[in-house]
Amino acid sequence: MTAVVQAEGLTKYYGRRRGLEDLTLDIQPGEVFGYLGPNGAGKTTTIRLLLDVIRPTRGLVRVLGADSRDPAVRGRIGYLPGELALEGRERARDYLEFLGRIRGGVPASRLDALAERLDADLNVPMGKLSKGNKQKVGLIQAFMHEPEFLILDEPTGGLDPLVQQEFLAMVREVRASGRTVLMSSHVLAEVEHVSDRVGIVRAGRLVAVENVAALREKAVRRVELHFDAPVPKEAFEGLAGVRDLRVEGAGVSCTIDGRPDALIKAAARFTVVHLVSAEPDLEEIFLTYYSEEDRHHGVAEPA
């Protein structure tokens, strides 16, 4: 089965500044691939190379089995840019209908169905749309022609939580139909519920490709526990995966690397009245798990 994306040694420099270096990656048909990294890590550079918006300094890339420069490939792709410029007095519906005609025809019922799912008003002039509503229009234009390959760059920016959940349901439906999604984000929680695999890029280099379950094993999170009475500090000292421990009366706070099993078992000896577990922070994953790997491979921050 031909990979949807095949990149070999893909590299892009902007003068002396590294945008991306030596990216070798395959994305398979029917896969949701999360592409994770902090802002400026190289995610958008990768996407622009896949779309032939920019040309590589060196390396090869094929998309949907063809050279990325082949114009026929573009009609098979749905793309949401990270920064979507929608301005002017034209209604969002008119804009989407225009794009639909370019793409071979998109039924009005399809536009209406997507607008209803995302709670988007298509009769508002685009220049008057809020950031969140512009994002909804961007999602509609990416999904509406049912492309073989969806490329979504920071897709949930400006969306409220309910719309985010509907968007994730749409991504799952794309995967269920056998089509492929590349979803770029700097937020781990955004992709973990729908991705099959994730690639982590840092300072222009791909530092890991893992399945989501393996990534969660390595996640770092802050945990706070509150008990109905003061607890002894020694009950929580030396626990596997627990660091930065603070015990103050009936409160315990710490950082957990990986599984929380040891902490949970220790806490179960007392009466827990409240527990807070912060979402794992992507930058913390980089700093704690990949720092050794980065040093081994000589990864440095871009100049």
pLDDT digit string, tens, across residues 108-127: 999 999 999 999 999 999 88
Q: Which long-range contacts (CB under 8 A, 24 or more apart) does 118-124 make?
A: 118/163, 118/166, 118/167, 119/162, 119/163, 120/92, 121/92, 122/91, 122/92, 122/93, 122/96, 123/91, 123/92, 123/93, 124/91, 124/92
Do residue 123 and residue 227 come from a single domain? no
Q: Which domain holds residue 235?
A: 220-279
Q: What whole-number distance in Å separates Cα of residue 81 and Cα of residue 138?
A: 8
Q: What is the CA radius of gyration of the chain?
A: 22
Domain count, the chain: 2
pTM: 0.78
Residue 68: give its domain's CATH number: 3.40.50.300
Does residue 259 or residue 11 have the better pLDDT?
11
Least confident window among 33-37, 105-109, 226-230, 278-282: 278-282
Residue/partner pairs of 235-240 with CB below 8 Å, 24 or more apart: 235/266, 235/269, 235/270, 236/263, 236/266, 236/267, 239/263, 239/266
Residue 291 domain flag: no
126 with 236, same domain: the answer is no
pLDDT in tens, 135-164: 999 999 999 999 999 999 999 888 899 999
**Residues 280/182, Cβ–Cβ less than 8 Å:** no
48-104 confidence digits (pLDDT tens): 999 999 999 999 999 999 998 888 898 899 999 988 888 888 999 999 999 999 888
Domain boundary at 198, 216, 234, which? 216
